[in-house]
A and B are shown apart, each in its own frame.
Chain A
Amino acid sequence: MTELVVNKLGYVRGNKQILDEVSFSIGKGELVVLLGANGAGKSSVLKCALEPKARVKGSVYLNGQPLDTLSPANRARLVAYLPQSRPVAWPVKVFDVVSLGRYAYGVRLGQLKGRDLALVEAAIVDCQLQHLRDRRIDTLSGGEAARVHCARAFAANADVLLADEPTASLDPKHQLGIMKLIRDYVDGGRGALVVAHEANLAARFADRLIWIRNGRIVADGSVDETMTENMVAEVYGVSSEISRIRGYHNVSIVDAL
């Protein structure tokens, strides 16, 4: 069964066409990684999929229902969003940040109960944050903070997760950790679209890759089908050699083209 269907997204900023006829779908239990160079339009895909006002054309459906007609809260119950920039304005506690994932269900911080509380607790356990739950967010390391934001997104218990570079500026171990968390979340019966820079990380965790260049999708398929040296050259503008390490595709960059 298909869950999220994105249809012909178009987005223009100034005179520049940022997205052009971007169409794809994400099914249940599917982790799709969106790959592309800086400025290719990856983040815009997520923003325009979520926010009708952000795009100039296109439509988005979830389980056959148009997403645009939903109120922000109803949309948030179906699609969780983890933006690239994650500034926390006040030094609030980890538990409160994760609890905000239940905002769309009308929760008030400090007064969670029932299913809301259970889902927040479950997200905290899933993201291994038990020992940090009462810590102030400003005292965490980058890797810990990234897990908190994942937990916040997971707590919404939405059908689909849209995550914009959840592994940005993390070391390799934490990158693997975050991708594993998202993989487990998807394996629990949801879909996810994850924006990433790292092709190797994508190859390891994704069911499908969407390659985007100058606002257009150039390929959409499995890792085996699409992760080729030609694709890497077209999308990133670098020559590369692709080998297999323990069964996973591994891109070694040779030089800029």
Chain B
Amino acid sequence: MRNAPLVLGLVTVSVTVLLAAILLGSTPLGLSAVINSLTGSGSPGDAVVLWEIRLPRALAAYVVGAVLGLSGAALQGLLRNPLAEPGILGVSATASLFATFTLYFGFSALSSLVLPLAAIAGALTATMFLALVAARINSVVTLILIGVGLSSFSGALMTLLMNLAPNPFSLSDMVNWMMGTVANRSFEDIAFAMPFLFVGAAMILLSGRDLSAFTLGEEAASGIGADLAKIRLKIVLGTGLCAGGAVAIAGTVGFVGIVAPHLVRPHVDHEPSATLVPSALLGGVILVLADIFIRLTPTTTELKLGVVAALVGAPVFVWIASQRMMGGNSYD
């Protein structure tokens, strides 16, 4: 496998940043304290900091980054465009909208399952819509523009809900959701999303070969024996489950799905199937690093992960887009 060295390197980096995320923070927790707590022989206070605050938070950031990186790489392979990503295409925004909807009407109070399920339903609705549109138009650029439109529309409906928020508490709930954060996440929050993420990631990872075929364009891909409709469905469902699960854990966090695959691609000969796993690992690393940065930044109000991701990711998006223009546009 051509990506083996990269994967190995990124696994090492992943372990390192996760460890760093556990060690660093406002309460000093030394390496020995961490090891003691992990093995169950540390002080009860350290154990609470580790097991209930830092570890779930670091893992949440990692898992969300990983599935977003994977979804981005998969959508880019399917649509043959490096700017495709759940955030850009409106999948994350629609997932957030559905989640916000349950907050607005108070459904989320009925059961802890309601909000994450709504997020996943929103993501699947958006990906299905995009798949239907994609089957009717031939231009990937148009599809991306439609995704941008969907994103704006979902965003507008979300703002409308906030506008109509009955009280400051539900407003602040919704704002938090929209900004995206992994603060105060518990293992249960992650565990609930895991089955969806697992199935979604499996669907994507099993389609690696098919994404390679899409490199030739849909007509030639069909010619070499790719079942286009089946592959589209697999990727759409896979990315819908992943993006929905990510929103269920952390709310809207954008741009990871663009940045991670973009950095990976040159190191795997631009081969779509080889891009998947490294993009997932790098996506996880990026969000854990971003979250460490947030926790160590001495602001009075903690920065939100989605805000930081967008602050870094949006300029990178513009940069990738302008590079393509200047490069003669040969890969449109």
A residues adjacent to B (C-beta < 8 A) = 50-51, 71-77, 80-83, 85-93, 96-97, 100-101, 103-104, 106-111, 136, 138, 152, 156
B213 and A100 form a contact (CB under 8 A): yes
Assess whether B224 is interfacial by the CB under 8 Å rule.
Answer: yes
A89 and B80 form a contact (CB under 8 A): yes
A89 and B215 form a contact (CB under 8 A): yes
- Interface members, chain B 247-291 (any A CB < 8 Å): 265, 269-274
Q: Collect the chain B residues with CB atoms within 8 Å of residue A101's CB.
A: 224
B330 and A138 form a contact (CB under 8 A): yes
Also in contact, A89 and B224, with CB within 8 A (given A100-B216, A110-B271): no
Indicate which residue in A76, A80, A83, A106 contacts B219 across the interface (CB closer than 8 Å): A83
Q: Collect the chain A residues with CB atoms within 8 Å of residue B271's CB.
A: 90, 92, 96, 109-110
Assess whether B208 is interfacial by the CB under 8 Å rule.
Answer: yes
B274 and A110 form a contact (CB under 8 A): yes
A100 and B215 form a contact (CB under 8 A): yes
10 contacts between A and B (CB under 8 A): A76-B223, A83-B219, A90-B265, A90-B272, A90-B331, A100-B213, A103-B213, A109-B274, A110-B2, A110-B274
Assess whether B212 is interfacial by the CB under 8 Å rule.
Answer: yes
Q: Collect the chain B residues with CB atoms within 8 Å of residue A108's CB.
A: 208-209, 212, 273
Indicate which residue in B2, B217, B219, B269 contacts A89 across the interface (CB closer than 8 Å): B217
Return the chain A residue nearest B269 by Cβ: A93
Q: Collect the chain A residues with CB atoms within 8 Å of residue B222's CB.
A: 50-51, 72, 81
Instruction: Give min CB distance, A89 to chain B, whole Å.
Output: 3
A80 to B2, CA, bound (A): 27
A109 to B225, CA, bound (A): 15
B225 and A87 form a contact (CB under 8 A): no
A103 to B270, CA, bound (A): 18
Return the chain A residue nearest B82 by Cβ: A90
Q: Collect the chain B residues with CB atoms within 8 Å of residue A156's CB.
A: 224
Q: Collect the chain A residues with CB atoms within 8 Å of residue B81's CB.
A: 89
Assess whether B164 is interfacial by the CB under 8 Å rule.
Answer: no
User: CB-CB contacts of B205-239 with A at 8 A, as 1s and 0s?
Assistant: 00011001111110110111111100000000000
A103 to B221, CA, bound (A): 9
8 tightest Cβ-Cβ pairs between the two chains A and B:
A76-B225, A81-B223, A104-B225, A89-B80, A73-B225, A90-B270, A103-B224, A83-B219
Instruction: Give min CB distance, A95 to chain B, whole Å.
Output: 9
Instruction: Give min CB distance, A72 to chain B, whole Å.
Output: 5
A201 to B103, CA, bound (A): 69
B223 and A80 form a contact (CB under 8 A): yes
A228 to B65, CA, bound (A): 67
Q: Collect the chain B residues with CB atoms within 8 Å of residue A77's CB.
A: 225
Assess whether B1 is interfacial by the CB under 8 Å rule.
Answer: yes
Q: Collect the chain A residues with CB atoms within 8 Å of residue B214's CB.
A: 89
Q: Collect the chain A residues with CB atoms within 8 Å of residue B223's CB.
A: 50, 76, 80-83
Q: Collect the chain B residues with CB atoms within 8 Å of residue A100's CB.
A: 212-213, 215-216, 224
Q: Collect the chain A residues with CB atoms within 8 Å of residue B80's CB.
A: 87, 89-90
Indicate which residue in A86, A92, A96 contacts B217 across the interface (CB closer than 8 Å): A86
Q: For the A-B complex with A75-B225, A83-B220, A104-B225 known, give 7 more contacts whose Cβ atoms are closer than 8 Å.
A: A74-B225, A76-B224, A80-B223, A85-B217, A87-B216, A100-B216, A103-B224
- Interface members, chain B 186-220 (any A CB < 8 Å): 208-209, 212-217, 219-220
